[in-house]
């Protein structure tokens, strides 16, 4: 980490607005991983 980078922690809880299929959850996860990698964000979906 360079001297200009900072580390932040953000915790949040979200709730699905409807039941999601396994495929929809997998699509959500894959999309989040792709966006997060571009933005250099790490995270955890539980």
Under 8 Å between Cβ of 6 and 12? no
Read off the DSSP letter of residue 4: T
Residue 21: predicted pLDDT: 96
Residue 12: predicted pLDDT: 86
Residue 3: predicted pLDDT: 64
What is 9-33 written as a DSSP string? --------SS---HHHHHHHHHHHH
Residue 45: predicted pLDDT: 63
Q: What is the mean pLDDT of each run of 10 residues along the chain (46 residues)?
A: 75 91 94 92 76
């Amino acid at each position: 980490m360079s001297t200009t980078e900072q580390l932040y922690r953000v915790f949040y809880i979200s709730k699905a607005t409807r039941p999601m299929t396994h495929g929809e959850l997998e699509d959500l996860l894959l999309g989040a991983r792709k966006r997060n990698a571009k933005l250099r964000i790490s995270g955890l979906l539980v």
